[in-house]
Chains A and B, each alone.
Chain A
Amino acid sequence: MLPKPVPVLTEKQWEFIAQRLDKPAPENMQKRLQRAIENAKKIKEE
């Protein structure tokens, strides 16, 4: 079951994404990522 192809972005959508690139991720995402990094270390790889 291959993933569906990701839709290409319209100009408006691209502008929205592009203006994010030179900025840090929003604080809520930074916190979520930090939590994920800490928790994922506890998952034992078989």
Chain B
Amino acid sequence: MLTANDVTVSQFRRSEEFDYFQCEKNGYREFLQNPEEAEKQFSENLNVTYVFRHQGKAIGFVALAMSSLRRATLPNERKSEKPYGAVPSLLLGHMARDSKYRGQGVGDIMMDYVLEKAHELGKQVGCRFVIVDAEKDKEKLYRDKYGFELVPPSPNDKTSLMFFDLGLRKPDDAT
């Protein structure tokens, strides 16, 4: 079992380190076959990929982007209603670990990093939630292991929109 002390992190640097990276999730084949896309999206300010390493080898990555939970319709004039239509949030766009490290606690370590980053971000620019639009089969993992909550689903939802509430800002959080 790995701990946070065993892991290092940096922004995505080179595609070669993913040559031996394996992942059960089919959706990541595109990234693993074309990891330099992460660098391109970073240069375009669209998202940032963070790579986690153990003894110098890539063991997982997350991709983060600013986002929001938005309501479909504009707010009306009702006084009781919140006068805005979006809540600033950090989107966990992708998270994957090398399947050779399954059961080693890598997901927990990466999620700790994401939550802490969102917490710090919230002190600087406003960020209430970490959100993830998870595949249905990952809903239990995000809920039970990482503490996320499900937004009540709509009929025909193919994915599970979930959020982690960073809470109210405390006065001593000011920087």
Residues of A within 8 A of B (CB): 1-4, 6-14, 16-18, 20-26, 28-30, 32-33, 35-37, 39-46
User: Which residues on B sit within 8 Å (CB–CB) of A12?
Assistant: 152, 154
Instruction: Determine if A25 and B72 form an interchain contact, defined as CB atoms under 8 angstroms apart.
Output: no
A13 and B30 in contact (CB under 8 A), knowing A1-B37, A3-B47, A40-B115?
A: no
* Chain A-chain B contacts (Cβ-Cβ < 8 Å), number: 143
B98 within 8 A of A: no
The prevalent SS among residues of B at the interface is mixed
Contacting pair A33 B72 (CB below 8 A): no
Which residues of B133-175 have CB atoms within 8 Å of chain A's CB atoms? 133, 146-147, 149, 151-152, 154, 157, 159, 161, 163-168
State whether B112 touches A3 (Cβ < 8 A). Answer: no
| Cβ-neighbour of A46 out of B8, B30, B46, B109 (below 8 A) | B8
Our pick among B67, B109, B159 for the contact of A43 (Cβ within 8 Å) is: B109
Q: In the complex, what residues of B have CB within 8 A of residue A37's CB?
A: 115-116, 119
Q: Counting CB contacts under 8 A, is B82 at the interface?
A: yes
Task: Report the contact-size class of chain B (Cβ under 8 Å from the partner).
Answer: 35 or more
User: Using Cβ atoms and an 8 Å threshold, which residues of chain B touch A44?
Assistant: 7-9
Given contacts A11-B71, A45-B9, contact A21 B128 (CB under 8 A): yes
- Which residues does chain A contribute within 8 Å of B30, judged by CB atoms? 1
Residues B164 and A29 in contact, CB atoms below 8 Å apart: yes
Can you list 12 residue pairs at the A/B interface with Cβ under 8 Å? A1-B94, A6-B69, A11-B73, A21-B82, A25-B166, A29-B149, A29-B164, A37-B115, A39-B109, A43-B113, A45-B8, A46-B9
